[in-house]
Structure 1
Amino acid sequence: MGMILRKVKTLSDNEKDTTRIVGQVKWFDPVKGFGFVVSESGGPDILLHANVLRNFGQSSVADSARIEIDIQETSRGVQAIEVHRIDAPESASAAVLADFAGLDEEEIRNAPLEPARIKWFDKGKGFGFANIFGRDEDIFVHIEVLRRSGLSDLQPGEALALRVIDGKRGCMATEVMAWENASTKDE
């Protein structure tokens, strides 16, 4: 008796149904490597894995940040599969960092985003330092700048785009964004 073999096509993760939603980060722990998002339209908590966030160019996200993601239903629940946008929490964007008081807001907004790498960052101390590629000076990075940028923590060696000004503490980051946003002098 002969066997009949039939090829069964399985859907790859990219071929499964996805839905784009807007929600709010409930919490995210970069040490554990995951957190959860709550959709604006309700429903179950959505798992946000660190790898999905890294594909967006970030290693963390601030609690209460507004986030736009593609989600997918899996056997283990609803999970984020791609991040499209992250907006800082509203309370963080209203906060004014004392270090920027009295500085020209137009100058801060128009400073170029430059490619940088984090030297170290201590969330407990509330600050750390970075270096812009090709320069030796340290760039001061305050935790409030992270929160206003929609982030909660930074890892040594992490590549980012920093908006940098000459401030009260020397060279200071005023905004932190994904690496892809950095300008290059060759453009």
Structure 2
Amino acid sequence: MSEMVDKDSDGKIEVAGHVKWFDTAKGFGFIVPDSGGADILLHGNVLRNYGQNSVADGTRIRILAQRTERGIQAVSIIALEAPAQPGAAPLADFAEFDPAFLAALPLEPARVKWFDKAKGFGFANLFGAPDDIFLHIEVLRSSGFADLQPGEAVALKVIEGKRGRMATAILAWDAALHADERGGAA
């Protein structure tokens, strides 16, 4: 993501940076702009308007921001890009699969059944299908999420693994719709 700083007619500026931290319990976090300067407030409502309830630390982000009496705040998210994890080994469950095959998997609409961050896993159900899809915490992190909430709409790339059906990538539903429009996916 390249940095852009263009003011629109409402005085909003487009800013690129990365998520410093986001606390789902507190409902806010901060963005460090690539251009330097003060951190930018990221409120939970702005994140939810993008279609996510959480975001992983280090996630690349492009936003529209606005100066307020309390400092600069994000008003909308343009794009999120999962944090790079140099040297991170893919899950052993994916080792037998060609990375090109995994990248080409279709995005399938799903709802989170439950996710326990402390346990490091949870399950989702594809729309119209009764079987559970396993969600691993490392897949969440590599997809740019810190946590998932029951009932949250997502899009999954799913494989039949050694332990059954599991997600290899997770996108917020809104982001998946936009990725589909651009002809790409996670």
TM-score band, normalised by shorter chain: 0.7 to 0.9
The aligned residue for residue 120 of structure 1 is: 114
User: Do structure 1's residue 78 and structure 2's residue 65 form an aligned pair?
Assistant: no
Residue 111 of structure 1: CA displacement?
Answer: 1.3
State how far apart, in whole Å, the 2-side matches of 1:162 and 1:98 are. 19
How has the CA–CA distance of structure 1 residues 79 and 146 changed in structure 2, closer, same or farther, with 3 Å as cutoff? Answer: same
Task: Give SS of 2:139's match.
Answer: helix
User: Do structure 1's residue 60 and structure 2's residue 54 form an aligned pair?
Assistant: yes
State how far apart, in whole Å, the 1-side matches of 2:131 and 2:26 are. 32
The aligned residue for residue 109 of structure 1 is: 103
How has the CA–CA distance of structure 1 residues 179 and 40 changed in structure 2, closer, same or farther, with 3 Å as cutoff? Answer: same
State how far apart, in whole Å, the 1-side matches of 2:130 and 2:163 are. 16
Residue 105 of structure 1: CA displacement?
Answer: 2.1
The aligned residue for residue 172 of structure 2 is: 178
Structure 1 portions without partners, runs of 5+: 1-13
The aligned residue for residue 4 of structure 2 is: none
Q: Which moved more, 1:164-173 or 1:96-105?
A: 96-105
How has the CA–CA distance of structure 1 residues 61 and 95 changed in structure 2, closer, same or farther, with 3 Å as cutoff? Answer: farther
Which amino acid in 1 is paired with 2:45? N
Structure 2 portions without partners, runs of 5+: 1-7, 181-186
State how far apart, in whole Å, the 1-side matches of 2:69 and 2:21 are. 22
Alignment partner of 1:149 out of 143, 146, 160: 143
* Aligned alpha-carbon RMSD (Å): 1.7
Alignment partner of 1:16 out of 7, 10, 22: 10
Residue 15 of structure 1: CA displacement?
Answer: 6.2
State how far apart, in whole Å, the 1-side matches of 2:63 and 2:93 are. 33
Which amino acid in 1 is paired with 2:66? Q
Residue 78 of structure 1: CA displacement?
Answer: 0.8
State how far apart, in whole Å, the 2-side matches of 1:95 and 1:123 are. 20
State how far apart, in whole Å, the 2-side matches of 1:86 and 1:64 are. 10
State how far apart, in whole Å, the 1-side matches of 2:147 and 2:162 are. 23
TM-score (norm 1): 0.86
Answer yes or no: is the 8 Å Cα contact 1:24–1:64 preserved in 2.
yes
- Cα deviations by residue, 1:16-36 (Å, 9 ceiling, x for unpaired): 311101101000011111100
TM-score (norm 2): 0.86
Residue 130 of structure 1: CA displacement?
Answer: 0.2
The aligned residue for residue 4 of structure 1 is: none
- Cα deviations by residue, 1:87-107 (Å, 9 ceiling, x for unpaired): 111127944112211223222
